[in-house]
Amino acid sequence: MRGLSSLALLAGVLAGCHSDAAKTPVDGAADAPEDTATGLGGAGGGQGAGGGHSSGGSQSSGGNPGTTATGGVGGGAGGQGGTGGPGPGAGGAAGAGPSTGGCLGPCLEAFLATCPEIGQTCVSVVVGQQTTTCYSNGVKDQSSTTASAVTAVVKDAKGNVCRTRTVNTSGEDLQTPDGTLVAHVAYGSNQAFTVTCHAADGTTQVTMGNFQSPECAAVLQQSQQVCTSGDCAW
């Protein structure tokens, strides 16, 4: 029996069915989410001071390196050498490159990590249109399928609800237990997706990715996981 992944498939998905080749679930059968947060990099180093005026003036020092951030702007231009000096000083070092995160990005992955399902063996039971899946770490996932949507609840090992989700033709919404929207995952063609996630610090992070990419290998594998048919009490 195939367990329904947390990021369930879009329209036409039935609990326990195989993933459509054009859409790959992310939550549920896949928990660790790449959310490459958008954000400007640190500013580059300042312009270096010019060399001192003298016979054979000293070489000017370059600008300071940019601060570490996503895609920092390169360092400022070096200062001009003094009269008779060896030439322009070296420019400041460029800022650090972007942080890639995982498949779904740090914001969504942090949310899903509270009740991890990826990399776990599972047992599931199907009753009508409802699928209940028990993972080896104690996390449980129960989904119900209708003609227009899939809704689900995920519990931690202690039985506390840690998230809910709703999947329909517009994508998937992942919410806190009280229904507050944390992230929306929109699916594109050829396994492309876009995650819009509302971080705890109040920022909104947007990630565009593809389930065929190497970073998403674990997510793709989770979406194709087949659970053993057996007892799984909600």
10, part of any domain: no
Q: What's the confidence (pLDDT) of residue 222?
A: 86
Distance CA 64, CA 162 (A): 45
Question: Could you write out the DSSP letters of every residue in 188-226?
Answer: -STTEEEEEEE-TTS-EEEEEEETTSGGGHHHHHHHT-B
Instruction: Based on the fold, state whether residues 161 and 209 are members of the same structural domain.
Output: yes
Tokens for 99, please give them: 């942080």
Let me know whether 75 and 121 are in one domain: no
Residues 6+ apart with CB under 8 A from 67: 42, 43, 95
d(CA 83, CA 115): 66
- Give yes or no: residues 135 and 223 share one domain: yes
218 within domain boundaries = yes
pLDDT for 129: 94
Burial 122-139 (b: 16+ CB within 10 A, else e): bbbbbeeeebbbbbeeeb
pLDDT reported for residue 27: 63
92 and 117 co-located in one domain: no
Average pLDDT per 10 consecutive residues for the chain, totaling 234 residues: 40 32 46 32 38 42 40 44 46 36 89 92 95 96 95 97 94 96 95 95 95 92 90 94
Helix (H) or strand (E) holding 163: strand 161-168
**Tokens 């490159």 label which residue?**
97
User: How many independent structural domains does the chain possess?
Assistant: 2
DSSP 8-state symbol, 24? -
Same domain, 142 and 223: yes
Judge if 111 and 81 occupy the same domain: no
Buried/exposed 65-86: b ≥16 CB within 10 Å, e otherwise: bbeebbbbbbbbbbbbbbeebe
Q: Which residues constitute the domain of residue 177?
A: 106-229
139 and 186 housed in the same domain: yes
Q: What is the CA radius of gyration of the chain?
A: 25
119 lies in the same domain as 191 = yes
The alpha carbon of residue 71 and the mean position of all alpha carbons in its chain are separated, in whole angstroms, by 17
87: part of which helix (H) or strand (E)? Answer: none
Do 112 and 91 share a structural domain?
Answer: no
pLDDT confidence of residue 223: 85
Question: Does residue 110 share a domain with residue 224?
Answer: yes
* Residues 46, 161 within the same domain: no
Residues 59 and 131 in one domain: no
Locus of tokens 């549920």: 28
Q: Report pLDDT for 26.
A: 59
